[in-house]
Amino acid sequence: MNTAQTTRACETCPAHNVANLVKLGINLEGTDYVVALAGNPNTGKSTVFNALTGLRQHTGNWPGKTVTRAEGAFSYSDKRYKLVDLPGTYSLLSTSTDEEVARNFILFGQPDVTVIVVDATRLERNLNLALQVLEITDRAIVCLNLIDEAQRLGIAVAERTLAKDLGVPVVPTAARRGIGIQDLLHTIHDVATGAVIPKPKRIVKHAPQLEKAIGSLAESLQSKFPGLTNARWVALRLLEGDDRIISAVRTGEITSILSLTELPRETVGEGVLE
Amino acid sequence: MNAISNDDILLKAGNLRWEVGENLHDSLMESLYTEASRIADRVVTRSGAPGRFNWDRALDKLLTGRWTGFPIMILLLMVVFWLTIAGSNVPSSLLASLLLDTVHPVLRSLGESLSMPWWLSGFLFDGVYLATAWVVSVMLPPMAIFFPLFTLLEDFGYLPRVAFNLDHLFRKAGAHGKQALSMSMGYGCNAAGIISTRIIDSPRERLIAIITNNFSLCNGRWPTQILVATLFIGALAPPALSGFLSASAVVAVALFGIALTFLTSWFLSRTVLKGEASTFSLELPPYRPPQVLKTLYTSLIDRTILVLWRAVMFAVPAGAVIWLISNIHVGELSIAEYAINWLNPFGLLIGLNGVILLAYIIAIPANEIVIPTILMLTVASTGVSGYGEGAGVLFELEDNLQYLSVFQAGGWTLLTAVNLMLFSLIHNPCSTTIYTIYKETGSVKWTLVSSLMPIAMGLSLCFLVAQVWRLATAGG
């Protein structure tokens, strides 16, 4: 009997790992990795959040329930994770406050893993956001949530094909019932530790001329702002004429957004009518 | 290399923009959508038998129908309140008899056995403890019923349908349709409702939603509404119907609050916050079977206990204040009596009385303690015998008839009850809400508007009702 082998066998058994999950609630001290939960509104991000952290972030069946970032923690296989539940957003190019919170965090908060929660019953619309997120980060996982509901509606999603098409791991879940959470944990762990390196297919092919423009602009950005991640993404937004990104570059704020520890304080009272 | 400035980069971007063509954004979006649709086509297969009965669509037809939507909404509201009122009677009196009849005497005798001075045991047990016990026994049962019911509806997916139903009314009022959602959140807690206005993009519409959120009765005010309706309005009907009548009265006040929300939004969007209603898309989520046990657990633990805890935190100092002002005498009268006498003429003018006004001043930190405060002050100032154990001491009341006799001794009429219900709907927000408004708007001006406008409206309305009432009853 080889003991070492037995231990290994245990480690790969899901039953062992269930016991391995420690829900840490709001104890955020000394976390090793930061995991962001992104996705369209009402896809169950908060439910996934609760399942992982043991917190009871209020969930409700309506889009727009989460308007601020919620943070919690869990520990799994000796690593401590900070989990950030972001407000739902249809796009990374929009303008409202709650969607801005999500966009800034994925862009500049540099999460170690971004879990994109998608609604299996509305895959096409949800993929729009997923593809946008995959343009700015490699370390992403797609959490194909609400598969129980999809089943009820007679919708089947070939998750392996999806994973192949996107180039990132896809984990089917029904978070309300706790189904698939185990696989999700395992995948988060693999991606965070680098055991699995997702290679998202940057599907949207650019025309050669545009590609050249992005490259040259990104180079300038990188030399001006050495700490900037996602220089290519910022370059593309500049070429598009995205007002917020333009003003962030003008003021140099684009680098300070890097230290996004505070939620941007938004005030609506001033400037409406004075 | 570092010599380039931020503006150089922008200039470069501006120049390159000409080369890549001006429709870049559109073409990028288009290729994104095409890609999403291509992948979705590849991986999704639908096997739903054609012609299968679609529950979601059938329910939506009913719940958001032109003729059925509103009646069902009101009916659901009625059912929720009726269940809350009817269901909380028994546990409320059980709790009261436990906390007030049993525990309180034990505490007092404990104080005596420790030979505490009278003012210390009075302050601790008659002031602090009794106010707390009162809040727990009055608030816990209705909240333990109301919150789970509301959460079940929310879980099921009913809230976006309410937003859908109310959308065209909000648009007519010049406000954002999503205000229906922040309004619904306000029924739990106005501070939470105000934070939830973040889903509204336009600052103008968001301000309207913030200012009018106070017209959603929050859980601190439900117990006042329910108790007063049960005592005064329910008593007008034969016993079999009194539950129904009290529930109707509470629903009427809640609906009046919704009407005021529209009216105020309309007024604001035509005057100081002029502008067109912006369009938005709201996804109607699928109906989901609510998880009953989980909902019960979370709404009991999270919302009920949390809100109750807050109420207790505020009841403790309020109980102390009430005991102190009733027991510190300046000359003949206690401070409380001076204040009541001073407020009384104005109170009576607007169909309330000095006790109620003083109670609202003491209860600015939290609306939850309005009713206990009113009761304590009434007893203290009228000297009704047989209920209290001294000045400023909360007392145990075994049934509704006793409440009624205390109120009647305080000179209460049906008008007082009606106006109290109205005033409880329309007055300044509690201190937590005011602070939240300040945090969200970042503006002293709008915080003041949100706090002072409702109280001016409430006082005027009560005055108006009192005059009409007196004219009508004098004539008849």
> What is the residue-wise DSSP string for B208-227?
HHHHHGGGSPPTTTHHHHHH
CB proximity under 8 Å: B 48-67 to A: 48-49, 52
pLDDT of residue A19: 54
Of B17, B36, B291, the CB nearest to A176: B291
- Full-model pTM: 0.70
Count of positions (residues) in chain A: 274
Q: DSSP letters of A141-208?
A: EEEEE-HHHHHHTTEEE-HHHHHHHHTS-EEE-BGGGTBTHHHHHHHHHHHHHTSS-------SPPPH
Contacts of A56 in chain B (CB under 8 A): 298, 301-302
CB pairs under 8 A between A and B: 194
Tell me if A268 and B442 make a contact (CB, 8 A cut-off).
Answer: yes
Tell me if A127 and B20 make a contact (CB, 8 A cut-off).
Answer: no
pLDDT by residue for chain B (476 residues), tens only, comes to: 445 777 888 888 888 877 777 677 788 888 888 888 999 999 998 876 555 567 788 888 888 888 898 899 888 888 887 887 778 777 877 887 888 778 888 888 888 888 888 888 888 887 788 778 877 777 778 778 877 887 788 888 888 888 888 888 888 888 888 888 888 878 877 887 888 787 787 889 999 999 999 999 887 788 788 888 888 888 788 877 877 888 889 989 999 999 999 999 999 999 888 877 776 767 777 787 777 887 777 777 766 776 677 777 777 887 788 888 888 888 888 888 889 889 999 999 999 999 999 988 887 777 777 877 887 778 766 655 444 444 444 444 555 666 777 777 788 888 999 999 999 999 988 888 898 899 888 899 999 999 999 999 999 999 999 999 999 887 65
d(CA B203, CA A32): 38
Asked whether residue A174 carries a pLDDT value surpassing 90, the answer given is yes
d(CA A159, CA B457): 58
Mean pLDDT of the A133-152 span = 90
Read off the tokens for B4: 């380039």
Of B4, B199, B291, the CB nearest to A64: B199
Asked whether residue A177 carries a pLDDT value surpassing 50, the answer given is yes
Tell me if A61 and B272 make a contact (CB, 8 A cut-off).
Answer: no
Tell me if B13 and A235 make a contact (CB, 8 A cut-off).
Answer: yes
Of B9, B156, B198, the CB nearest to A220: B9
Q: In sequence order, which residues have a C-beta less than 8 Å from that of residue B212 and are 6 or more positions away?
A: B175, B179, B183, B260, B261, B264, B265, B268
Question: Residue B219: what are its φ and ψ, rounded to 5°?
Answer: -65, -20
Whether B263 and chain A come into contact, CB under 8 Å, resolves to no
Contacts of A251 in chain B (CB under 8 A): 6
Tell me if B35 and A239 make a contact (CB, 8 A cut-off).
Answer: no
Closest by CA to B242, choosing from B87, B397, B82, is B82
Tell me if A67 and B198 make a contact (CB, 8 A cut-off).
Answer: yes
d(CA B225, CA B427): 14
pLDDT of residue A162: 94
Closest by CA to B434, choosing from B448, B455, B454, is B448
CA distance B437 to chain A (A): 10
Read off the tokens for A244: 């917020």
pLDDT of residue A12: 54
The three-state secondary structure class of A92 is coil
CA distance A228 to chain B (A): 14
Of B1, B13, B48, the CB nearest to A217: B13
Q: DSSP letters of B431-462?
A: HHHHHHHHHHH--HHHHHHHHHHHHHHHHHHH
Contacts of B272 in chain A (CB under 8 A): 273
pLDDT of residue B99: 84
CA distance A167 to chain B (A): 12
Task: Select the residue from A62, A100, A222 to test the B interface by mutation, using most B Cβ atoms within 10 A.
Answer: A62
Tell me if B201 and A97 make a contact (CB, 8 A cut-off).
Answer: yes
CB proximity under 8 Å: A 168-197 to B: 176
Own/partner contacts of A254-260, CB < 8 Å, gap of 24 or more, are: A254/A225, A254/A228, A255/A225, A255/A227, A255/A228, A257/A104, A257/A107, A257/A108, A258/A108, A258/A110, A258/A227, A258/A228, A258/A229, A260/A104, A260/A105, A260/A108, A260/A109
Tell me if A166 and B440 make a contact (CB, 8 A cut-off).
Answer: no
Question: Least CA distance to B49: which residue of chain A?
Answer: A154
d(CA A63, CA A204): 28
Asked whether residue A185 carries a pLDDT value surpassing 90, the answer given is yes
pLDDT of residue A106: 77
Binning pLDDT at 50, 70 and 90, where does residue A238 land? confident
Model confidence pLDDT, tens digit, residues A200-222: 887 556 777 888 888 888 888 88
pLDDT of residue B309: 78
Contact B183, B194 (CB under 8 A): no
Tell me if A239 and B273 make a contact (CB, 8 A cut-off).
Answer: no
The proportion of chain A whose per-residue pLDDT surpasses 70, expressed as a percent, equals 75
pLDDT of residue B452: 94
pLDDT of residue A273: 32
Asked whether residue A15 carries a pLDDT value surpassing 60, the answer given is no
Whether B181 and chain A come into contact, CB under 8 Å, resolves to yes
CB atoms within 10 A of CB A215: 13
Which helix (H) or strand (E) is A83 found in, with range? strand A79-85
Of A63, A132, A216, the CB nearest to B283: A63
Binning pLDDT at 50, 70 and 90, where does residue A9 land? low
Contacts of A265 in chain B (CB under 8 A): 442
pLDDT of residue B454: 94
Output B120 or A113, whichever has higher pLDDT. A113
Model confidence pLDDT, tens digit, residues B86-128: 787 778 778 878 887 788 888 888 888 888 888 888 888 877 8
Asked whether residue A262 carries a pLDDT value surpassing 70, the answer given is no
Closest by CA to A230, choosing from A214, A244, A208, A242, is A214
Question: Least CA distance to B1: which residue of chain A?
Answer: A223
CA distance B71 to chain A (A): 22
Whether A247 and chain B come into contact, CB under 8 Å, resolves to no
